[in-house]
Structure 1
């Protein structure tokens, strides 16, 4: 069951946010279409990976943070490590794996806004992610651990994430969980069990739209929220795209509308949103302020091309919020 530690956070509480998972380069098609069945113009490589985007956003907000991952001895690995290091992430627990290439994701947007992917993750350096000595050293500093469902792609990584969750909680820390999954993943019994465990252990749950119902017996949003809060989750933060987001807790519900921006590339927006909400809450900000900053972060992320290129500091987020207030678009 989740702890009440989250509710006791103040701006003076020492904190270190850690995550574990895939680091990839993302290479993106310049034109819309279906698949990669013919030569076409591509842009990239860009540093990427859902947990990598998350932790980079934490660092851009000034949070003490680090990541456990693995990349190859190649330019793609160097590109990612140098970007994370530049933005302030502790990269000491990112392994340079021998005989493996850095993970990759080729992306093409379809006309309806959905995406085609060609991934190399399971058989890349990402498969070497584990709790090696440097990772265990980083975990000893962790006061908060973030789990991304997309990172639970192999049994060894599931074991590593589970061990990390239990260790951070034993240290008095807290957990956040973003499902970030395809529904088909729930058909694999061990995968579903791992995801359900993460939900039971987390303090902040960060689903997107229909993900709210994937783990529940109830068939309505109200039933799902009640069921998840009864598990001991402190805050459910439901990402609702351009409509903004809503935070559900035992004592109240808060909604913040989306900020109107020109959408250029939605990749990474949810990761930026989650990182901003978690960082704000752990620094002592109210749910209202945290939700407002998170919505601004997600909105700014979609306005920039490239999965990690839209990560923001508080100065940029204040500009988004102030601009919307002047236009009367969002509060």
Structure 2
């Protein structure tokens, strides 16, 4: 197997201990936990035995070391994670609301993650890759967008494939260039992995079937629509296959 590669934010997550807790006053916190959507994805792929590597950047600090050591222990290729002295590793602070929604305070763009680039190590990693996975949350700055698009074109030029998970957070949706970048990535994707209402961010259709048909007609090979506790539905040009969700006790939705 050749490598699956992703690029984007590497951070630690620090979570409020109590539901309804606010960051407007002091309260108990849990963490730090290694995090960042692409880092979670690559870590899980590596844990399943798939060769996988990540392009990203951390600070020369404990948070950065925590993330790199976790990925290394899971078997991921960490050769393209740059370590920057004088720049802190990214952070995400999370509170939980009574309606099951979450509120985030991010430091990504102005952290070491904001210094992500396609350097020599990243170029070497991409040379061994035949698939790129893009998380929408990783399109948080012009630099990050340039890295993602470069990775896509490098792998596509070799006949490789692209998967795209929008993973939209309202707190970063207004980032410069993000909407255009999301559309660009979708246009180059083979596999689309939206969750719930994310399907309709990229379609003018009002119902699920019409939206799926419209998106497949644009050139996608397949769509896997994730529905949380209701499971997921795989769609391609030949039909659909539904899979029910696993019955589990929720521990924490963050990083799940």
Would you call these one fold, judging by a TM-score over 0.5?
yes
Instruction: Within 5 Å, give how 1:101-112 maps onto structure 2.
Output: 101-112=88-99
Equivalent of residue 58 in structure 2, options 60, 71, 76: 71
Equivalent of residue 224 in structure 2, options 237, 262, 268: 237
What corresponds to 1:11 in structure 2?
Answer: none
SS in 2 for 1:31: strand
Instruction: Write 1 or 2 for the structure with the bigger share of strand.
Output: 2
For structure 2, the 5+ residue unaligned runs are none
Equivalent of residue 97 in structure 1, options 84, 104, 113: 84
Q: Deviations over 1:278-327 (max 9, x none)?
A: xxxxxxxxxxxxxxxxxxxxxxxxxxxxxxxxxxxxxxxxxxxxxxxxxx
Equivalent of residue 41 in structure 1, options 28, 33, 37: 28
Instruction: Within 5 Å, give how 1:279-294 maps onto structure 2.
Output: none
What corresponds to 1:132 in structure 2?
Answer: 119
What corresponds to 1:176 in structure 2?
Answer: 163
What corresponds to 1:309 in structure 2?
Answer: none
What corresponds to 1:321 in structure 2?
Answer: none
Q: Please report how far the alpha carbon of residue 188 of structure 1 lies from its aligned counterpart in structure 2 after TM superposition.
A: 6.5
C-alpha distance in 1 between matches for 2:144 and 2:30: 30
C-alpha distance in 1 between matches for 2:85 and 2:133: 27
SS in 1 for 2:146: helix
Instruction: Within 5 Å, give how 1:1-331 maps onto structure 2.
Output: 14-182=1-169, 190-269=177-256
Are the structure 2 counterparts of residues 185 and 192 from structure 1 closer, same or farther at C-alpha, using a change threshold of 3 Å?
Answer: farther
Are the structure 2 counterparts of residues 125 and 187 from structure 1 closer, same or farther at C-alpha, using a change threshold of 3 Å?
Answer: closer
Do 2:141 and 2:177's aligned partners in 1 also have CA atoms closer than 8 Å?
A: no
Do 1:17 and 1:66's aligned partners in 2 also have CA atoms closer than 8 Å?
A: yes
C-alpha distance in 1 between matches for 2:54 and 2:228: 27
What is the TM-score of this pair, normalised by structure 1?
A: 0.75
Do 1:185 and 1:192's aligned partners in 2 also have CA atoms closer than 8 Å?
A: no
Matched residue count: 256
C-alpha distance in 2 between matches for 1:236 and 1:206: 6
Are the structure 2 counterparts of residues 265 and 184 from structure 1 closer, same or farther at C-alpha, using a change threshold of 3 Å?
Answer: closer
Q: Please report how far the alpha carbon of residue 170 of structure 1 lies from its aligned counterpart in structure 2 after TM superposition.
A: 0.6
For structure 1, the 5+ residue unaligned runs are 1-13, 270-331
Q: Please report how far the alpha carbon of residue 219 of structure 1 lies from its aligned counterpart in structure 2 after TM superposition.
A: 1.9
Q: Please report how far the alpha carbon of residue 184 of structure 1 lies from its aligned counterpart in structure 2 after TM superposition.
A: 7.7
